[in-house]
Amino acid sequence: MANSWGNLLQNEQQLEELAQQAVDRALAEGVLLRTSQEPSSSDVVCYAPFTLFPSLVPSDLLEQAYAVQMDFNLLVDAVSQNAAFLEQTLSRNCSVSSSSTIKRDDFTARLFDIHKQVLKEGIAQTVFLGLNRSDYMFQRNADGSPALKQIEINTISASFGGLASRTPAVHRHVLSVLSKTKEAAKILSNNPSKGLALGIAKAWELYGSANALVLLIAQEKERNIFDQRAIENELLTRNIHVIRRTFEDVSEKGSLAQDRKLFVDGQEIAVVYFRDGYVPSQYSQQNWEARLLLERSCAVKCPDIATQLAGTKKVQQELSRVGVLEVLLPGQPEAVARLRATFAGLYSLDMGEEGDQAITEALAAPSRFVLKPQREGGGNNLYGEEMVQALEQLKDSEERASYILMEKIEPEPFGNCLLRPRSPVRVVQCISELGIFGVYVRQGKTLVMNKHVGHLLRTKAIEHADGGVAAGVAVLDNPYPV
């Protein structure tokens, strides 16, 4: 596995030197983050953590992940348009005594309220834009072979498409230093941010107002600014201008015209691209009001509220039920088969026999499951002893319906070095998570764009059960196809 690269090195000193060269190349390529000390300023920046070596990924699984991405785009788009499915899934059995995700989860409930309000008023936007990233791990089968299993799909603020285009040069550099020129050439070129920008550009064009802008909903403190700038820069080459504003800015300076056109600072907005608004802590009352204003407008939201809801873990679990994909994607048995092949075991914890059964199984074999609340951004899932305690506490309470249970994916670990500022350089046992970026644009009922636009490999040490790059657990990587 990846530690076979390590065998090319004679000693510790060579490893340290190689790591220094890699870090300097990463800085030169723009593999950057703002610092945690000064997350609002680019005066002093640091490199985004990354692996010293590219990690081996079976090329058939990489191809499979690419091949199923257009199906996932279609599926997310179908779910977002199916108000009945969303309602049924998120507020199953709406009677007072019953449990459901939205009754037990305030955050999902508030998103759902906005969704209902917009539906009632009539959806003003006619162009829809999806920028998502479907994430996978490589499950080790009983016979030792790996299988592609989806972890989740991110339908809002899917990140690292910008930095992922900068890391191939770094790994090519590392392999070139080791005189592995042929191997260096095998590192795939990758430019997700360009593809994401093309999607935004298409939506902007279909909106059809030459002077309208793209509004990027930004966080005040944003370490991952360079990732976002990559998309902004691509748009600017197409003469599409982006303004960055917070929810607070929108609430102070945003307004709707009679025809529900959105204006911010007096400028018309064609596309709203959210890089904020996916976790509860990002919403004050003022921010919820700003979100509602944006949703009511005819600007293209990426994502609109229904598409954000389509990315919840509860929806993911319901999609895995027998027969559901067939209803959402009628007449597309091949797409359904490709999608289903990537599903891991997913279990509802709704009150009732099925949920009771799932809890019994998880308590009997905790190492085989993950407990997930309706949250994004890493660090929310529960494993092992913590999961057992939570299940014991939740099992007789209706609150359990706001969680889902998932089969735990167990990839084969391999050795690699995780390079982080101020951390020692050493080989540790790792696992990877592969993400594929998808873009689609729909005008009315017509899909005008549906494609995959690149990948992201993230790698973390095996001792960390949860968390991505932004959470400080995983680091950027590149697949080395084998």
Active site residues: 133, 152, 154, 159, 313, 372, 376-377, 458
Half-sphere exposure of 308 (CA within 13 A, CB side): 28
Nearer to ligand ADP, 251 or 348 (CB): 348
Shorter beta-carbon distance to ligand ADP: residue 183 or 318: 318
Q: How far is the CB of 369 from ligand ADP (least distance, A)?
A: 8
- CA dist., res. 475 & res. 465, Å (int): 14
Nearer to ligand ADP (CB atom), residue 320 or residue 381: 381
The nearest distance, CB 56 to ligand ADP, in angstroms, is: 18
Rounded CA gap, 398 and 405, in Å?
15
293 versus 471: smaller Cβ distance to ligand ADP: 471
Which positions lie near ligand ADP, rule CB under 6 A? Answer: 135, 137, 151-152, 344, 370, 372, 375-378, 380-381, 406-409, 433, 466-468
Q: What are phi and psi of 148, to 5 degrees?
A: -80, 120
CB of 374 to ligand ADP, least distance (A): 9
Q: What share of the chain is helix, strand, coil (3-state, %, to 5)?
A: 40, 25, 35
Q: What is the CA radius of gyration of the chain?
A: 22
Residue-wise burial string across 88-106, b where 16 or more C-beta atoms lie within 10 A, e elsewhere: ebbbbeeeeeebbbbbbbe
Nearer to ligand ADP, 6 or 345 (CB): 345
Least Å distance, CB 54 to ligand ADP, is 19
CB 393 within 8 A of CB 428: no
DSSP per-residue string spanning 258-290: TT--EEETTEEEEEEEESS-SSGGG--HHHHHH
Comparing CA positions, the residue from 461, 377, 457 lying closest to residue 165 is 457
Shortest distance in whole angstroms from residue 192 CB to ligand ADP:
17
Helices (H), 297-352: 305-310, 313-319, 324-328, 333-341
